[in-house]
Structure 1
């Protein structure tokens, strides 16, 4: 069990609502300034045209996506309540009236108890945060910001087109409004050492951040990273290397921070490498094994 090693997202939600709560991943058909030409770029090196999305927005409304997912999640997990997770691309990157409509449609369902909104830290104007603060009076609201690394040279290398300070500013403005923040990080980025990755953990630990999602870097077909991998310019870490870094990463975080994710979750038809990225359960078990073997727990190396 993970409960003795770190504070899991499932246990946090169960404590909050008293029942099983599941996230529903949604595709709102939005875009990203790093892909639509606004920043003069074709995107991050690991991101394909789908932007971690499903393409569901082309066929289904937000309400329809929620209804379909609820039926599946009820059967699989006996879920009673749901979080609407706007996942694909940057889900604050649209005019406020459009965002109001999307968020309202998700919250129309009485079993949807909140929103989790994935976006970039350079895409959160104050007016959007003010609207989300208003929604938080009756609903659980989370902002999920892609940091990926706390090293600016790495952000340049992976073509993020924002700085670490941009992330810090977004966190400050979000927390001023009482909204919860989840930071996304990627382990195994090109050029990063283990110490670089652990410094990202230390950076997150020193900020007013409520949760973290840890992703493993994997190579998706048709991306810039795919070209680097094919040319031998990028070599994927082994499962053992990833598990060791992820376990050490968790030990540096504050004990109360929520761990929403421990590894990546690629689509099988898109994955080029590493093949072990498809074995989610084994990957999580490898992190647990490393932590137990080295007597680590979340917060055991935290210096507050």
Structure 2
């Protein structure tokens, strides 16, 4: 039985645009991050693993073309898919020259059935020239830029060693949307030092910015990170599953209906996860969120107030 969703989900959004399911193919470009190489800070964000939330496929010798072809064959075999969207995920996919960006994007979009791309990056790694290049693809493709924000609170951004402030994110959003490119903000719930009221302030701020999309992530502890050290020393405590579920529902209720909810929980690699164990129960967490909306009789935008 199909679950009726109480929010604007990504698959439904893509189907409304293209008339059928669109499968995302994730690629690893092998690019770095200025927050890890010492350009901005050292060590990266406290929760970031060595692969930058990516697959590590590029370092294994797989080119962008090979990754896409492998992903395309898998999607055709599993879903009989014919339309695809490429997602430049790991690390910072504008942290290179415009010439190299164009080469990467052209290579990916030349694949048969490719209808668009999503580019994961940092708000401090874009400029007018790079955004002009990205915007040049919008006449033929669906184009999203996904900015890692995590929180609107500068005290939190400093605590997690993010390397930029909220004002930087706001500037990047303005420049991107001025060029007709859609913007998705990545947010993490359960960051050190944040209570629920602070997390919901982030939701309100994104609502006021009229952001196009949001990815909501659970902060889970990855082995070998600075966060794991904090967790081991009991300086950080993970959210409980029910607490996370309630906060996600609160968060979505505060966003306008127009915001596309692209993700509502994390997706850790089993071999890398230190805590919480329930982070592996992705389907259960998803169902709990749906059930909570049903019990509340609630939905996305129920508590959105443009003036708040």
When normalised by structure 2's length, the TM-score is 0.97
2:217 corresponding residue in structure 1: 215
2:94 corresponding residue in structure 1: 92
- Measure, in 2, the Cα distance between the counterparts of 1:21 and 1:178: 21
Which ranges of 4 or more aligned residues in structure 1 deviate by more than 3 Å?
1-4
Are 1:191 and 2:223 counterparts? no
Map residues 22-101 of structure 1 onto 2, 5 A cutoff: 22-58=23-59, 59-101=61-103
Contact 1:133 1:177 in 2 (8 A): yes
- Measure, in 2, the Cα distance between the counterparts of 1:178 and 1:211: 14
- Measure, in 1, the Cα distance between the counterparts of 2:25 and 2:3: 22
Task: Report the alpha carbon displacement of residue 3 of structure 1 after superposing the two structures with TM.
Answer: 4.5
2:156 corresponding residue in structure 1: 154
How far does the alpha carbon of each residue in 1:124-169 deviate from its partner, in whole angstroms, 9 at most, with x for none?
A: 1111100111111111110000110011101011110100000000
2:108 corresponding residue in structure 1: 106
Are 1:232 and 2:251 counterparts? no
Q: Secondary structure at the match of 2:125?
A: coil
1:281 corresponding residue in structure 2: 283
Unaligned runs of 5+ in 1: none
Contact 2:41 2:163 in 1 (8 A): no
Alignment partner of 1:127 out of 126, 129, 137:
129
Change (3 A) 1:12 1:3: farther
- Measure, in 1, the Cα distance between the counterparts of 2:4 and 2:261: 11
- Measure, in 2, the Cα distance between the counterparts of 1:176 and 1:99: 20
Task: Report the alpha carbon displacement of residue 181 of structure 1 after superposing the two structures with TM.
Answer: 0.2
Are 1:16 and 2:17 counterparts? yes
Task: Report the alpha carbon displacement of residue 80 of structure 1 after superposing the two structures with TM.
Answer: 1.9
Alignment partner of 2:250 out of 248, 251, 256:
248
How far does the alpha carbon of each residue in 1:87-133 deviate from its partner, in whole angstroms, 9 at most, with x for none?
A: 00000000111111111110111211111000000001111100111
Contact 1:142 1:179 in 2 (8 A): yes
Give the stretch that moved more between structures: 285-294 or 90-99: 285-294
- Measure, in 2, the Cα distance between the counterparts of 1:76 and 1:113: 19
Contact 2:210 2:259 in 1 (8 A): no
- Measure, in 1, the Cα distance between the counterparts of 2:77 and 2:110: 22
How far does the alpha carbon of each residue in 1:16-59 deviate from its partner, in whole angstroms, 9 at most, with x for none?
A: 00111011111000001000110131100000111011111121
Unaligned runs of 5+ in 2: none
Change (3 A) 1:254 1:2: farther
- Measure, in 1, the Cα distance between the counterparts of 2:298 and 2:192: 27
Contact 2:7 2:261 in 1 (8 A): yes
Q: Secondary structure at the match of 1:54?
A: coil
Alignment partner of 2:266 out of 264, 267, 286:
264
- Measure, in 2, the Cα distance between the counterparts of 1:96 and 1:6: 36
Q: Secondary structure at the match of 1:226?
A: helix
- Measure, in 1, the Cα distance between the counterparts of 2:11 and 2:111: 21
Q: Secondary structure at the match of 2:35?
A: coil
Q: Secondary structure at the match of 2:118?
A: strand
Aligned length: 304
